[in-house]
Chain A
Amino acid sequence: MTAAPSPDVLRAPLVVEFPFTRSLGPVQSAFLTGLRERTVLGVKTAGGGVLVPPVEYDPVTAEEIRDLVEVAPTGTVTTWAWNPAPRRDQPLRTPFAWVLVKLDGAATALLHVLDAPGPDAVRTGMRVRIRWAAEPTGAITDIACFEPCEREDSGAAAPHDGRFADPVTGITTPARLDYTYSPGRAPTDYINALAERRTVGERCPSCRKVYVPPRGACPTCGIATAERVEVGPRGTVTTFCIVNLKARNLDIEVPYVYAHIALDGADLALHGRIGGIPYDQVRMGLRVEPVWTEGGRYPDHYRPTGEPDADYDAYKELI
């Protein structure tokens, strides 16, 4: 059974989202706690330069550096870029300039944003000051943004012991990325056929194996599969396990059996839940068939057919 690739490939939104939790080293902790207290700290290198934002190790010598100093909340723009269309998670909702700012007393520049009316109001060398966030938490975003100011360079950094009450020791940074996922041709064909309660694999033109589910390539031969082959609906349990952990958001009583099932005609076992039989009676060689639920796009589970068990030799290559 062959067919031309479906013109309509499936697509679905896919969101990858993590709240990354990170612990801080002593210098990072002092810097971010300082921001919460509206104090900007830098760290001195062996060469005497002040790094802002401060790091734990000298970027040139790799020496551990711990000598903290306080620098001014004012500084000078060293380069800039006007962003006319802020993206979702960027610090300002209205058009703004990205800036590298060398704070007074610092030898290096900090990346942040500048709130300005337009690109004509921004230039390298302009003076800016920090606008603090209304509700600081101990994060780089405690600097809400920079804003233009007229104040002259306030000069040298002052020593600071880096000690604050209730120091910040970690940060949680949510990260969300949005994708439009498309599985490609072969999985689309497979998923579409499943919706019609048919299981369709693809045969390798070289080794003749039928892959279910198909991914478009034979992993043994490294060549494309395209010949579509309907398999099943019945199959054989090749191996199984008994699940005693209740998964969150899964309305299935434990224990239950999860099995590898070689559908008749397939050369690769897929996996599914076994139902309609006590968990301690499931066995290798058990013959099963899919059970569909109303509106389901794939089998809910597999149940015994009542046939005699398959002979071990019939499925041993598929375990």
Chain B
Amino acid sequence: MREIAIVAFAQTGHRRRTDELSEVEMLMPVLHDVLGQTGLKTSDIGFTCSGSSDYLAGRAFSFTMALDGVGAWPPISESHVEMDGAWALYEAWVKLLTGEADTALVYAYGKTSPGEIRDVLTRQLDPYYVAPLWPDSVSLAALQAQALIDAGDTDEPALAAVAARSRTAAAANPHAQLSGPVPAGDYLVQPLRTGDCPPVTDGAAAVILAAGDTARGLCARPAWIRGMDHRIEAHSLGVRDLTDSPSARQAAERAGAFEIPHGLKGMGGAPFVDTAELHAPFTSQEVVLRKALRLGDDVNVNPSGGALAANPVMAAGLIRIGEAAARIHRGASDRALAHATSGPCLQQNLVAVLEGES
């Protein structure tokens, strides 16, 4: 299989609102940042893929306007997913695996501030039986949190500890929106308090992928993608066991998270990683993912602060992969698991395993 690596990552300083910036104005600095890190020009990029959703800002075809920031003329080889940018990265990875391109630019952006994100996300639900009830994203996460509490997997103090650990870690992340001591707050939807929920965020991120020796030439320590997979569960919440995430576990297995590096078969049990960047916008979702992915206490979980520190919807999953890669780039990790999610209560999950060469 062709070797593909993440060679550059950039993200915006995430903020509650960015009225003075159009989406393309918000995005452009991160595009220039990753191009600058690698010395590549737009015309050098073999494939460009983006992730965003028109529903966030209520603007039809906003991704075509965002392309202005890429410099898409003369015409470039380009694609878009109406999903988190992690899935755009997956498409770009597959494109590079086919050998059709040697480099790819992947970006994602989310301007969540113009709308009411809790209501907007109801529109992704089953339109026959669920969406007419307008169950907002916090309420659905709270149903999952209560199921975890009932099952004895967590309790409110443990959830508060996830929030505190994440935002303490975020103090070292200059891009974080919410860091340091954050009060647990009142119930937003019981059992979730404001502190258990992500901030509302405007932000963007970009990565560059490259194959083989091209990657080695562009980055001192590329973050090699050893495997990547995504899986989805039944859409009806009442069919699922909300305290587990078989789709996340299966994606991790197929991405090779449980295998010892360099082809040796694993011994089962915990994944062989030192770092995990988990896309868990709600504290309770980290509990589900730790359990499903069998992460031990020796794994550094969300050293960036995760989505609890900044949650630009449609970019927050790509940022998990970028944060994991950036740690490998600077030698802070040798093997990392990166996860992205989509849909209510961790319905769809993507896992990538990244590795640095010594």
Q: How far is the CB of A119 from chain B (nearest CB, A)?
A: 5
Stretch at the interface among A84-92, A251-259, A270-278, A304-312: A84-92
Cβ-neighbour of A177 out of B42, B55, B238 (below 8 A): B55
Is the CB–CB distance between B189 and A82 below 8 Å? yes
Known A-B contacts A24-B128, A139-B132, A215-B65; the reply to A81 vs B190 at CB < 8 A is yes
| Cα separation A82 to B188 with both chains bound (whole Å) | 9
CB within 8 Å: A-B pair count: 180
Interface status of B234 (Cβ within 8 A of chain A): yes
> What sequence of 0s and 1s flags, for each residue 183-197 of chain B, a beta carbon within 8 Å of any chain A beta carbon?
000010111100000
CB contact list, B44-95 vs A, under 8 A? 55, 57-59, 65, 67-73
Number of interface residues of A (CB under 8 A): 65
Q: Looking across the interface, which residue of chain B has its beta carbon closest to that of A89?
A: B134
**CA–CA, A10 and B90, complex, Å:** 37
Q: Name the residue in A16, A124, A139 with the highest tally of chain B Cβ atoms < 10 Å from its Cβ.
A: A16
A215 partner residues in chain B, CB cutoff 8 A? 22, 24, 65, 68
Q: Are B187 and A184 in contact (CB under 8 A)?
A: no
Do B20 and A98 touch (CB < 8 A)?
no
Is A9 within 8 A of B19, CB to CB?
A: yes
Q: Is the CB of A220 within 8 A of B147?
A: no
B2-10, B137-145, B258-266, B286-294: which lies at the interface: B137-145
Q: In this complex, what residue of A is CB-closest to B59? A: A181
Is the Cβ of A222 less than 8 Å from the Cβ of B123? no
B115–A185 touching, CB < 8 Å: no
Beta-carbon contact of A111 and B189 below 8 Å: no
Q: Evaluate contact between B20 and A224: CB separation under 8 angstroms.
A: no
Binding site for A on B (CB under 8 A): 19-25, 28, 31-32, 42, 55, 57-59, 65, 67-73, 114-116, 118-120, 123, 127-136, 139-140, 142-147, 150, 187, 189-192, 234, 236-239, 242
Q: Please give the residue numbers on chain A whose beta carbons come within 8 Å of chain B beta carbons, in ascending order.
A: 5, 9, 11, 14, 16, 20, 22, 24, 28, 32, 51-53, 55, 59, 78-84, 87-91, 98, 100, 102, 108-113, 119, 124, 139-141, 171, 173, 175, 177-187, 215-224
- The 10 nearest A-B residue pairs measured at CB: A222-B71, A184-B22, A109-B238, A81-B142, A82-B190, A59-B234, A219-B68, A179-B58, A79-B147, A182-B19
